[in-house]
Amino acid sequence: MSAGDPPPPIPGARLLFSLDAATAYLNHGSFGAVPIGVQRAQQRLRDEVDRNPMSFYVHPGLTDRIVHTRRHLAAFLGADPDGSALVPNATAAVSLVLQSVRLTSGDEVLLTDHGYGSNGFAVRRQCRRDGASARTVALALDASDAEVVARIRGALRPGKTKLLIVDQLTSPTAKVLPVREIVAVAREHEVPVLVDAAHVPGMLPVEVDRIGADFWVGNLHKWAFAPRGTALLAVAPAWRRRIEPLVVSWEQDSGFPLAVEFQGTVDYTPWLAAPAGLFTLRTLGLETVRAHNAALAAYGQRVVGAGLGLAPADLPEPGAAEAAMRILPLPTGVATTQPEASALRQQIADKLATEVSINAWGGRGWLRLSAQAYNRPEEYDRLAERLPPLLAGLR
C-alpha cells in the first residue's frame, strides 16, 4: 500500500455491525456503533434483570460486578481502578468535576476554543451559580504542540484560574492536543486540569496515569465498541475525597468511586457489557484496527478534499498517527453558524444517504469524517463525487 492508498479491509469486520447498508456511516465519532456481539451481550444482561429485578439490583453481587468491570476498563486505559469511576459519558463527568471543584466568587474556569460545546454550557451554568467566570483561550488550528502549550501557559492566572479544561482529541476540529505537557505547565501554576478524552479510548494509545491530570474522562462507547452510556472518569488521589456524586444513593457512605457509580435503578447493562466491546476490538486486533482507521480517514479526507477542489496543503493534520477523524474546510460562506451546520448535515443525510459531522468553528464550516472497521473506500469516493453538486446548489 503506497502513501495515499486506502487500506485493505479488515476481513469480516463489516459483518460485525448492524448498520443500515443503505447509508454510508462516516460519523462513528459522534455516537459510535455497537457490534452485534456486544448488543447481544447487553441483551442477555437485560434479560437477566427482567427475569428477577429484585435479585439483580439488591443482590450484593451487583456492586462486585461493577467493580470488576471498572477494573477491566481501567486496566485497558492505564488508569488506577481504585481512583476511577464508571459514568454515563464525558458530559456527566464534566458536571461532576465542576460541582466538586467548588468554585467561589472571583474564580474562573479556562477552556479552549476547540472544546466540546456542551462543556461550555456546563461551565457557564456552574459559574453563574457560584459567582465565577468562564474564559476561553484561542488556539490556531495549525498551532504546533509547543505553540499550544505556550498559549495555555500565557492564559493561566495563578490564584484565579481554578480549573483548566482541555480536550485530548478535540471534537469540532479533530486536533490532538499535547495534554501531558499542558498538565505539567498547569501544575507549575497549581491549576487543576480536567482532560476531556471522549474520543481517546480505543482510538489512541493512552496511559491515563502517566498524563498526570487531576481529572481525565474517556468514553468507551465511541471507539472501544462499548454500549452507549459507558465512560471512565479517573481522579487524582488528592481529589478523590472531594468528589461528590450528582445524585446521592445507597452507596453514598462508601465514598468515591462507588458513591458515584451506584445510582439505584439506572441501567447498568451498558457498563457490564463493555468488556465484550474490548474483546471484539482485541479479536480484530487493536493495532490493526487503529492502523486501518487512521489510513482510511486520511484517504477519505484526501479524496473528499480533492472533490471540493482543495489542495493537500489545505487539509488539516490531526497531530497523531492513529487519529481516525479528519476535517475539511467547506467553501466560504457555507455552514458558518451551528444551525446552518446542522441543516447541512441533515441535507447530506437525506440526499446523499451519508452520515457525517458538520461543525461551525472559527467563522467557517467544517466537514468531519470518521473511519471505522466497517467503512469502505468507495463510501468516501461517492461522497467526493456527490457532495460538490449539493454544496453548489446552496449558493
Read off the CATH number of the domain in which 346 is found: 3.90.1150.10
- pLDDT at position 151 is 97
**Are 341 and 225 members of one domain?**
no
> Does residue 1 register a pLDDT over 60?
no
**Are 72 and 170 members of one domain?**
yes
Task: Report whether 200 contacts 231 (CB < 8 A).
Answer: no
**Are 188 and 125 members of one domain?**
yes
- pLDDT at position 2 is 43
Q: Could you give the number of structural domains in the chain?
A: 2
**Are 248 and 225 members of one domain?**
yes
- Burial class of residue 153, CB neighbours in 10 A (0-12, 13-18, 19+): middle
- pLDDT at position 395 is 65
pLDDT, tens digit (0-9, with 9 covering 90-100), for 120-174:
999 999 999 999 999 999 999 999 999 999 999 999 999 999 999 999 999 999 9
Residue 358: DSSP 8-state: E
Range with lowest mean pLDDT among 3-17, 91-105, 261-275, 325-339: 3-17
Nearest 5°: CA angle at 213, between 85 and 369?
A: 80
pLDDT, tens digit (0-9, with 9 covering 90-100), for 185-242:
999 999 999 999 999 999 999 999 999 999 999 999 999 999 999 999 999 999 999 9
- pLDDT at position 250 is 86
User: Which domain covers residue 348, as residue numbers?
Assistant: 14-33+285-392
Q: Is there a domain that residue 196 lies in?
A: yes
Q: Is there a domain that residue 327 lies in?
A: yes
Query: The whole model's pTM is what?
Result: 0.96
Q: Is there a domain that residue 328 lies in?
A: yes
Report which residue type is found at 7.
P
Higher pLDDT: 265 or 381? It is 381
pLDDT, tens digit (0-9, with 9 covering 90-100), for 304-319:
999 999 999 999 999 9
**Are 346 and 247 members of one domain?**
no
**Strand, helix or coil for residue 368:** strand
Percentage of the chain exceeding pLDDT 70: 99
**Are 250 and 326 members of one domain?**
no
